[in-house]
Structure 1
Amino acid sequence: MNITDSQLTTDTSGRVGAGDVGLLLLRVVFGALLAAAGLQKLFGWFGGQGLTETGAVFEQIGYSPGVFFAAVAGLLEVVGGLLLLLGLFTPLAGAIVVGVMLNAITATWSGGLFGPAGYQPALLYATAGAVIACTGAGALALDHGRPWQRQGASWAVASIATGIVSAVAVLVLKSML
C-alpha cells in the first residue's frame, strides 16, 4: 500500500482531520506570537522597545552594529511568523525560525534554561519551527495542494539544516564585526 503525503494529513474519508486542526492552531498561535515579537523589536508595538532600544540591547550582547542585527532579527521574526501563520512556504518559514532562535539561544545561554533571561523560550520556538518543518503545514494551509508545496523528510532536513547554517553564518559574522 502506497500512502501519499495528502493521505497522511487527512483522515481516511478525505476530510480534514484533527491533526490538521491541531497544526492550524499551532501555526496560527505560534506564528502570531513570533510576528508580534518581531514587531516589538522593529516598531515598539505590543509593549516592545522599538528598534533603537532593541539595538542597544543587541550591542550589549555582542551583536554590533546593534540596530542592524535587531532589524534583521525583527524582520525575520515578522516574515517567519506570518509565513507560519498562513502555512505558506513552510520549509522556508521553518528555516527562518530555527536560524533566528538558535542565535537567540546563544545570546541567552548564560541565563540558563529556566532563568528570567534564560533560553527556554528560544528553545521552544526553535523546536516548534523544526517540528512544523517536519510535519508540514497541514491541509488547512495556503501551501496545501499547491504546485510549490514542499514537505517530507528531505525538505524537513533541508529546512532545519538551512536554519542551522544561517545561524552559524550570523554568529561568524557577529564575531568578525
Structure 2
Amino acid sequence: MSTNTAERHTADLTANPDKFAGDIGILVIRIVFGLILAAHGAQKLFGWFDGPGLTQAGTGFESMGYHPGKFFGTLAGLCEFGGGLLLALGLVTPLAAAIVLGTMINAINATWAPGLFGKGGWESPLLFAAVALALAFTGPGRFALDHGRPWQRHGLVWGVGAFVLAVVAAVVTLVFKWIL
C-alpha cells in the first residue's frame, strides 16, 4: 500500500470510523472461525490440540463408512486445515468457502442419524457450513489478503459458484464413500 493510500485510509477511518465496522466484524468472524476450523483439521492431521491424529482419525472415518478411512480422514483434515487458514487470512475466499462448505456437507451426512441436536448431531457442521457460505457471498472484507487484489471475488455470482462447487465436491466424495 502506498503512503498516499495509507494516509487516505487513515483519514477515512478518522473521519468516519463506522465505515469500517462491517469490515472489522467480518475480520473477527473470519479469524475466529477460520482458526477454529484449522485447529479441527490439525487435530485430524497432526494430533494437535488433543486430537486423534491421522491413524485414529482414519479409523473413525472407516467406522462412518468412508473407505479407505485414512484417505478420507486426510482429505477432511486438509480441507479443514487449509480452508480454515485461507478464510482466516481472507485469501481466495470463495474457493476457501467452497472447500469448507463441501467438507461440512459430508460432516452433516456423517452425523445425520442423531438429528440436529442429538448427541453427536449435525448442528456444528451446519453452523460451520452457514458461516463459510456467508463469507463466500460477502467476501473477506477490507482487512484481508484478497482486498484490492486482481483475484478478489465476492457477491451473488461468486457465492452461488462456491455453493455449486461445494455441492458437486461433496456429492463426488459421497459417491466414492458409497461405492468404495
Q: TM-score, normalised by structure 2?
A: 0.89
> In the alignment, is residue 79 of structure 1 matched against residue 82 of structure 2?
yes
> In the alignment, is residue 146 of structure 1 matched against residue 149 of structure 2?
yes
Structure 1 gaps, min length 5: 1-9
CA drift at 1:116:
2.1
Return the letter of the residue paired with 2:138: T
Partner in structure 2 of residue 19 of structure 1: 22
> In the alignment, is residue 48 of structure 1 matched against residue 51 of structure 2?
yes
Counterparts of 2:114 and 2:125 in 1: how far apart (Å)? 12
Deviations 1:26-63 (A, max 9, x none): 00000000000000001110010001111111001100
Partner in structure 1 of residue 139 of structure 2: 136
Q: Alpha carbon RMSD of aligned pairs, Å?
A: 1.5
Return the letter of the residue paired with 1:141: A
Partner in structure 2 of residue 114 of structure 1: 117
Paired residue total: 167
Return the letter of the residue paired with 1:166: A
- Written as runs of structure 1 = structure 2, the 5 A alignment for 1:60-71 is 60-71=63-74
> In the alignment, is residue 169 of structure 1 matched against residue 172 of structure 2?
yes
Deviating above 4 A after TM superposition, structure 1's stretches of 4 or more consecutive aligned residues are 13-16
Q: Report which of the two structures shows the higher radius of gyration computed on alpha carbons.
A: 2
Q: TM-score, normalised by structure 1?
A: 0.91
> In the alignment, is residue 95 of structure 1 matched against residue 110 of structure 2?
no
Counterparts of 2:119 and 2:47 in 1: how far apart (Å)? 21
Structure 2 gaps, min length 5: 1-11
